[in-house]
Amino acid sequence: QSALTQPASVSGSPGQSITISCSGTSSDVGGYNHVSWYQHHPGEAPKLMIYEVTNRPSGVSGRFSGSKSGNTASLTISGLQAEDEADYYCGSYTTSDTWVFGGGTKLTVL
Partner 1 sequence: QVQLVESGGGVVQPGRSLRLSCGASGFIFSAHAMYWVRQAPGKGLEWVARVSHDGLYENYADSVRGRFTISRDNSKNTLYLQMNSLRLEDTAVYYCARDLRGGWAFDYWGQGTLVSVSS
Q: Which is nearer to partner 1, 38 or 64 (CB)?
A: 38
The least CB distance from residue 13 to partner 1, in Å, is 26
Q: Which is nearer to partner 1, 13 or 58 (CB)?
A: 58
Side chain identity at 107, as an amino acid letter? L
Instruction: Let me know if 29 is exposed, middle or buried by CB neighbors in 10 A (0-12, 13-18, 19+).
Output: buried
The least CB distance from residue 48 to partner 1, in Å, is 5
Q: Which residues bind partner 1 (CB under 8 A)?
A: 1, 3, 32, 34, 36, 38, 40, 44-48, 51-52, 55, 57, 89, 91, 93, 97-104
Q: Which is nearer to partner 1, 16 or 54 (CB)?
A: 54
Judge whether 66 and 74 are in contact, CB under 8 Å.
yes
